[in-house]
Structure 1
Amino acid sequence: MTASPSGSGWFPVPRIRPRVAVVLVYVAAMCMNGLDSTIVNPALYTIAEDFGRPLSAANTVETAFLVALALALPVAGWLGDRYGTKRVFLGSLAVFTAASALCGLAWDLPVLVVARALQGLAGGLLTPVGMTLLFRAFAPEERVGLAKVLIVPTALMPALGPPLGGLLTEHLSWHWLFFVNVPVGVAALLLGVAGLREQVEGTADRFDRAGFWLATPALGLLTYALGFGPSHGWAEPAVVVSAVCGAVLLVATVLQQRRAPAPLLGLRLFADRYYGPAAALAALTAAGLMGVLFVVPLLFQAALGASALDAGLVVFPEAIGLMLASQAVDRLLPRLGPRRLVVAALLAAAVVFGALAVPGTAENVWSVRALMFLIGLVLGTAVLSVQLAGFETVAPPDMGQAMGLFQIVRTLGGALGIALCAALVGGSHTAGETMDAAPFRSAVWATALLVAVSALLALRLPRMAAGPPPVDDEQPPPASEASGATQAPGGTSAP
């Protein structure tokens, strides 16, 4: 037992190893964030009824969350470097938890939308800053074991969101979709305050205001257009204006960032021999995965006339496959190396994607479930390996910017994949009418092609996984190892 972190000695708290605390707090926070990305969807109809508003108005609950999340991504790296990853991460977690409580207490739709936007802003900071904490706490050769940590919030929680949301809404109320976050968030905050160590890389550069005012609306507008174009219609004026303005601002952002002395996004990181290909792979694999998760339930409904609930449950085995992928990465990555493992996994994923598009496959529910499980297994293996290998050569001072940029690229890639599939499907899925399965199969073939092309980029990944650094027998062990503290190379660590 030791005194409180404040040094007052008024109450004892257990001593927690910093790296254990990082893992536990990261998993708790990311599970909350991952669940909240999907848990509200089944409750939107009930929320609209409770507030006496149309369903289109209730959809703004999700619009606010997704757009706000995108708005926070550009500044995540700078904030963590400037004010410290522990401070920014725990501050974001506190806002996310408080916003969750406000969502559950919301007495009308505008309050719920505002609280949901606060959740999105905090969630947009949580993921990149949390992964920065995690990757700075573990050396490259130790990160293979993090596959089990990364997969839970990114795979299992979003998959559990819809069934859990439906269960809570039906047997309790939609308010509990948000209340469940509060005890988890409070516990994670207390653990983080007691166990995390501050990591401040420090930046003397002035905040890139021009980059902020270009990149932030660009990402927000593009996220809105790509996320709601498929459901609202690509000819909808709001979607068209958002897409055009977002694209123009994105081009302006790239031009400004290349000239800025201290750019907000650090696009120079794309020139890194491993990070650049890994970021491109993240975008392509996210496009393929999100595209197939969008279109397969529709194909299942088109081929079998299944209900929306059955169609949603048929893709759930993908999450189980993703969970097992973490075990595969842990065992195979050190033996095969990133290049061989990722190329093989992506080619296998392309074959599995293609099998889903073969006529007759969607008519057999167990075939679809088995293939979705395989997609989770092989594509999850590739995605995790890419994420671990891509940051191998990123220096600790650049980790914050690299994480933020990686999340931006992956988010836009997933949105583009859904938009591509929606465009190929077209207007064939009219409610109440018999649907032609052919356009849906074409969209699945397109996702298979995306994954197959990404295998070419995987040839630029490192041949071997990171190994332990050479041991200098004359040097004493680092103080952090002797004391159990964690200090990121190149940064500062404070108790």
Structure 2
Amino acid sequence: MNVRRAAAARAGLYAGAFLGPFGGGITVAMLPELGASFGISAATASVSVTAYLVPFAAVMLVSGTLGERWGRHRTVVVAYLVYAAASVLAALSTALPVFLAARAVQGLANGFTSPLLLAALASATAPDVLGRAVGWFGSLQAAGQTSAPLLGGVAAEVDWRYAFWGVALVALGLAAVGIPPEERPSGPDVPRPSLRSAWRGDVLRAGIVAALGWGCLSGLNFLVALRVEDAFGLGSGERGLLLTGLGVAGLFTARLIGGAADRIGPRRCVLIGGVLGGLLLIGIGLAPVVWVVAALWALAGVATQFVLVGVNTLVLRGSTTNPAGSMSVVQAVRFGGGALSPLLVTPIYHADPLTAFLLPAALLLVAVPVALPPGPTAAGRPAGDADA
């Protein structure tokens, strides 16, 4: 692979990081327009988000391992082509079941790209700067998550279908670019990646930590929205602007946090994120004025990146036989935790709003250190060398 094509393939890794969360959140701001097109309410149209996220999270239980078996490059390219085809189907849909089926296929395809992109990034990056690369990846994911409602809403001002034509073109471009080639031993004596190699105890513990970091921080955006509406009377536009602060802060700090993971070790980064996030949630539950809630919620984006970048770096450094499989399991558990947050926390909020913030804070302060597995630290050294 020549230098120019290698640079394009590496850039494609980061562009793929953007596309995943962008595709998941693109319908959030166009629910009224979707409802009008399909003759349903905006609330019913919100199932378009669920239709994407459920298969996305479910397939990642096995997608990384399957992608390692089939070959990362081949799997990612096919997944992008399927994603593009599903996006075209969504743009052409005139019936809600067809549209939801297209969203589900988008989620399935993205479930194959995300863990394989991270594994390819780890293979193409020196161990002593892996945290920085994972941080850049996290920044692009935060950018996709933050910009999806904005760009989807802008497209819907003209025709929501344009948003899906746009992501289809991007997916086709990424399929053409591909990813950096993988360098791995081959032959009859080399074992195939197995599900057992991904479903290890330390990987599952890392997934639990990621689920806590996501579900108890970013996943509580609905809870913050309820608090600022009930306590301060904010309207929908004001709530949306306040909630955007978390993604913007994550966008601008993930790369710096990745550098910190290289210097002090990913485990310490996760612990910092857990402590910081717990304290911030307590502050948000007690804050007497809305600007304090806004500031603390933005800082929660920093805490989220400390946890997620730290976990991703820890898992990628610790998995040599099946990195994509390990990452897919971690991501599946992470998004599962995020999906449970509204179901578990909303009844608590209606019973006692402050308790709804204190319980997730306690999980971050207590459960994250307990669940966090040991592993390599700065520059991949064993945990006892720098992160005791």
Instruction: Give the TM-score taking structure 2 as reference length.
Output: 0.87
- Comparing 160-169 with 329-338, greater Cα deviation is found at 329-338
- Comparing 316-325 with 118-127, greater Cα deviation is found at 316-325
Deviations 1:348-382 (A, max 9, x none): 2211111000051xx32x21221112111233123
Q: 1:200 to 1:391 in 2, by over 3 A?
A: closer
Q: Which residue of 2 aligns with 1:400?
A: 324
Q: Which residue of 1 aligns with 2:195?
A: 264
Poorly superposed stretches of 4+, deviation over 6 Å: 200-205
Q: Which residue of 1 aligns with 2:385?
A: none
Gap regions ≥5 residues in structure 1: 6-13, 206-261, 427-437, 470-495
Which of structures 1 and 2 has the larger relative contact order (alpha carbons within 8 angstroms, sep 6+)? 2
Report the secondary structure of 1:466's partner residue: helix
On the 8 A contact 1:70/1:124 being kept in 2, the answer is yes
Q: 1:302 aligns with which of 230, 247, 250?
A: 230
Q: Which residue of 2 aligns with 1:67?
A: 54
Gap regions ≥5 residues in structure 2: 383-388
Report the secondary structure of 1:180's partner residue: helix
Which residue type is aligned with residue 176 of structure 1? Y
Tell me whether 1:196 sits opposite 2:127 in the alignment: no
Q: CA deviation at 1:59?
A: 3.7
Q: CA deviation at 1:124?
A: 1.2
Q: 1:141 to 1:55 in 2, by over 3 A?
A: same
Matches within 5 A, 1:134-213: 134-170=121-157, 172-192=158-178, 196-198=180-182
Provide the identity percentage.
Answer: 27
Report the secondary structure of 1:306's partner residue: coil
Matches of 2:46 and 2:247 in 1, distance apart? Answer: 25
Matches of 1:337 and 1:348 in 2, distance apart? Answer: 17
Deviations 1:142-199 (A, max 9, x none): 31221342223322211222222222212x111122122133222222222xx63256
Matches within 5 A, 1:257-336: 264=195, 266=197, 268-270=199-201, 272=202, 275-336=203-264
Q: Which residue of 1 aligns with 2:364?
A: 451
Matches of 1:460 and 1:348 in 2, distance apart? Answer: 19
Matches of 1:263 and 1:191 in 2, distance apart? Answer: 28
Report the secondary structure of 1:392's partner residue: helix
Matches of 1:179 and 1:51 in 2, distance apart? Answer: 18
Tell me whether 1:385 sits opposite 2:298 in the alignment: no
Deviations 1:228-262 (A, max 9, x none): xxxxxxxxxxxxxxxxxxxxxxxxxxxxxxxxxx9
Q: CA deviation at 1:269?
A: 1.8
More helix by share: 2
Which residue type is aligned with residue 297 of structure 2? M
Matches of 1:266 and 1:160 in 2, distance apart? Answer: 36
Tell me whether 1:124 sits opposite 2:111 in the alignment: yes
On the 8 A contact 1:34/1:153 being kept in 2, the answer is no
Q: CA deviation at 1:136?
A: 2.3
Which residue type is aligned with residue 328 of structure 1? L
On the 8 A contact 1:321/1:380 being kept in 2, the answer is no
Q: Which residue of 1 aligns with 2:386?
A: none
Q: CA deviation at 1:296?
A: 0.2
Report the secondary structure of 1:196's partner residue: coil
Deviations 1:120-145 (A, max 9, x none): 11111111122222222224323122
Matches of 1:180 and 1:63 in 2, distance apart? Answer: 21
Q: 1:94 aligns with which of 75, 81, 87?
A: 81
Report the secondary structure of 2:234's partner residue: coil
CA RMSD of aligned residues (A): 2.9
Q: 2:296 aligns with which of 371, 377, 380?
A: 371
Instruction: Give the TM-score taking structure 1 as reference length.
Output: 0.70
Matches of 1:73 and 1:409 in 2, distance apart? Answer: 9
Report the secondary structure of 1:197's partner residue: coil
Report the secondary structure of 1:16's partner residue: helix
Matches of 2:226 and 2:136 in 1, distance apart? Answer: 31
On the 8 A contact 1:285/1:450 being kept in 2, the answer is no
Matches of 1:62 and 1:74 in 2, distance apart? Answer: 20
Q: 1:107 to 1:276 in 2, by over 3 A?
A: closer
Which residue type is aligned with residue 112 of structure 2? L
Report the secondary structure of 1:74's partner residue: coil
Q: Which residue of 1 aligns with 2:27?
A: 40
